[in-house]
Structure 1
Amino acid sequence: MLPEYNFKTVFPTVQPHTSYLLISQDALLNNLRTLRRRISAPIMAVIKNNGYGLGLSAYTALLYDQGIRDFGLIDCQEALALSARYPKATFYLLAPISNPDSLCAAIRCGNIVLHIGSEQEIQQLRIAQRHTGKKARVQLKLDTGFGRYGFLPNQLQSVLQAAQLFILDGIYTHFSEPYADASFTKKQFSLFMQLLSRLQSHGIHPRLRHCCASGAALKYPQMHLDMVRLGAAIPGMVPDASSYELQPCCRYCAKLISRKRLPEGWHVGYGRHTVLHHATQVGILQAGAMAGCFIHRQESKLNPLRYFYRGACSVFHSKKLLVEIAGRQVPILGAIGMNHLAIDLDHCSANIGDFALFAVNPAFCPPSLPRLFCSKLPQEDLSCNY
């Protein structure tokens, strides 16, 4: 067990850095326990995009130690590296691989399951099979309305061909709007089940059928089938996470690198949107949009009412973005820059070199940002900053 989170014992180990990502192991383990309690189907942990920003190597090790043996990725080189480290795990690629050498290497591994969703991919994989002299393990993707990867409903003949040419591990699909559009999600699920039934009538019985990523896994237990793909849910990065008893697992930590007093009437930040109404102590943190700070989920065009509602709320009941520093919550001033942001230190005794903390979506944090695992996070309510 990692030691209790403590500024004085943790921060000296990362002093050379002006910012880093603090990750709570306790929160991750709590979320995994909660999800296992809610979901009866086996879990595929999706670890794409640097393990959802938590650091691919450390995050995979933590999940493996907790008994996870099925992992989803989109990068073949990452799958190859992890498959050698964890030979008893299975790594499912969730996107096409076009590089012939990578295809051959994945086939030779034996514990990598390749994605097939088009006739072109079938032909590429047939060539790779001939080069290796070994049959490829595959899962077939059906496009039920997402419009990205996968065979269309009128291409079942190609699906039948692929099922005979390769070792068929599974068949899956992907929902486009599970959080907001129940009707279309159910329509996609119904189509998926119809297509599976037609394939079964031709003698195709995949070991795994799966369609639920995090959102659908939480909202539609009747759709769990043989496996669910959990990516954002394990770090607690889904909408209304607290209603599912999921905890945020990260805090961004940025060092205070400047502090000065600005006069009344002075502007702060790009665009001159913020004007100081009185002389103010202003601090600068070396953290900004390039590091994933305060990047919000893109509004869905399918939900214009929600978009306008939030816009109205922002006008009549503006909620300030806050950071925690020196034991106090202080507001951000002005627009967030690429690499810097300003904070109001008028009633805060923070000194240059102190660290500020705020909530962040780790998936937007660059791989170069140092990751530090600890036991617990500070308890301040900074959830509004997501």
Structure 2
Amino acid sequence: MTTLSPERVTLSRLHAPTLQTVPDAVAENLRRVRAATTARIMAVVKADGYGHGAVTVARAAVDAGADWLGVTDVAEAVALRDAGLTVPILSWLNPSGVDAAAAAEHRVDIAVGSVEELRQLIADAADPVRVHLQLDTGMARGGAPLEEWPELLRLARTGRGRAELVGVMGHLPRADEADPAANAAAVLRLRQGRDAVLRAGFGPVLVHLAATSGALTDPATHFDLVRVGAGLVGIDPSEATVLAGASRWTAPVVHSALVPAGTAVGYGGAHTTDRETHLSVVGVGYADGIPRELAPGAGVEIGGARHPIVGRVSMDQIVVDTGSVLFPRGVVATVFGPEGGAVPSVQEWARWAGSIPHTIVTGIGARVQRSVA
């Protein structure tokens, strides 16, 4: 039997479960996108920077050359301004509506995807608000269809002085296929929307369609600007480009025991040991973002090796089979990280959960402390 000493432990305090963001990885990913396009780059830091900290990710991206920032609510944009970020910011989706006064005061562009939205914004704006008209390019979840474009443009003309049309945008529904043919219809539709705007006497306008996968795989989608969010933190939905993982999630072993063969583990005895073995309890569970339903093979790194999770995921804990090695209380486990090898990646966790990497990084709970490398 081998016993490994903890890296750091006192009688009462352990290493707290922590998600550490790696700004150098964000910068490297921005550079990889820059190598794939001549368009300007918007660093999208919605959902608290995909769980990595909006301000931390934004600063790293801007320092690496991002030209714009993107968010989904004016309040998120104001927080970036308060943090000292001065590059242009676009807010779209806006689930709480638009605070027109705050948008004008803090120089936040607003995406508008319907006649109703534009009419309301014009009514609310006391000072000019910069507007990007959003076209439905095949998602059917936002953006105005081309059939409504004439009315949108008529309204934009009458609303000049309160809503200044400066951009046209869409979204690719199939960019994760990494096939330019799958994007062709959306590209054509956005060109039609742009041309209608120019014919109506507006312009020049900033045109943008591609997110991470389009930016990395299809130059025809780039137009004037590409919007990169998931890619900043190491996720290419198309899996066509290897990006750098931008975070590391660690948590302590809080209990270990040697158990005999035939020991039932966790709720319902969903796992039974088939030999004498050591079990370590790691202090994170589904309340912290560990997916409750995991495929066989899911594991964490402890002591330089990967060890499988056994039994059901609990609210606050997971149980790990460490075989012949007893890990004392306080040893640090790595749930995921950028190192590779024994350390699982975010992409592996997504496969184990039957999901996508985005849900893993954005689902980490508030009990997990945050730090910056």
TM-score w.r.t. structure 1 length? 0.80
Unaligned runs of 5+ in 1: 1-6, 298-313, 375-386
Looking at secondary structure, tell me which structure has more helix per residue.
1
Q: 1:124, CA displacement in angstroms?
A: 1.6
Tell me the secondary structure at the aligned position of residue 179 of structure 1. helix
Q: Does 1:86 align with 2:63?
A: no
- Percent identity of paired positions between Structure 1 and Structure 2: 27
Aligned match for 2:309, one of 332, 336, 344: 332
Q: 1:190, CA displacement in angstroms?
A: 1.6
Aligned match for 1:143, one of 136, 146, 162: 136
Tell me the secondary structure at the aligned position of residue 243 of structure 2. coil
Q: Spell out the pairing of 1:322-361 with structure 2 (5 A cutoff).
A: 322-359=299-336, 360=346, 361=360
Unaligned runs of 5+ in 2: 1-5, 337-345, 347-359
Q: 1:352, CA displacement in angstroms?
A: 0.4
Q: 1:208, CA displacement in angstroms?
A: 0.7
Q: 1:37 to 1:184 in 2, by over 3 A?
A: closer
| RMSD, aligned α-carbons | 2.6
Match of 1:268? 265
Contact 2:177 2:238 in 1 (8 A): no
CA distance in 2, matches of 1:234, 1:118: 30
CA distance in 2, matches of 1:35, 1:244: 10
Q: 1:199, CA displacement in angstroms?
A: 2.9
Contact 1:142 1:192 in 2 (8 A): yes
Q: Does 1:160 align with 2:153?
A: yes
Q: 1:296, CA displacement in angstroms?
A: 9.3
Q: 1:181 to 1:244 in 2, by over 3 A?
A: closer
Contact 2:30 2:66 in 1 (8 A): no
Q: Does 1:282 align with 2:275?
A: no
Contact 2:55 2:83 in 1 (8 A): no
Q: 1:43, CA displacement in angstroms?
A: 0.5
Q: Does 1:121 align with 2:117?
A: yes
Q: 1:231, CA displacement in angstroms?
A: 0.4
Aligned residues: 339
Q: AA paired with 1:75?
A: D
Tell me the secondary structure at the aligned position of residue 233 of structure 1. helix
CA distance in 1, matches of 2:266, 2:66: 46
Q: 1:59 to 1:296 in 2, by over 3 A?
A: farther
Match of 1:226? 224
Contact 1:328 1:348 in 2 (8 A): no
Contact 2:42 2:227 in 1 (8 A): yes
CA distance in 2, matches of 1:18, 1:88: 34
Tell me the secondary structure at the aligned position of residue 255 of structure 1. strand
Q: AA paired with 1:36?
A: R
Q: 1:334 to 1:240 in 2, by over 3 A?
A: farther
Q: Does 1:366 align with 2:365?
A: yes
TM-score w.r.t. structure 2 length? 0.83
Q: AA paired with 2:271?
A: T
Contact 2:74 2:94 in 1 (8 A): no
Aligned match for 1:244, one of 241, 244, 253: 241
Contact 1:76 1:97 in 2 (8 A): no
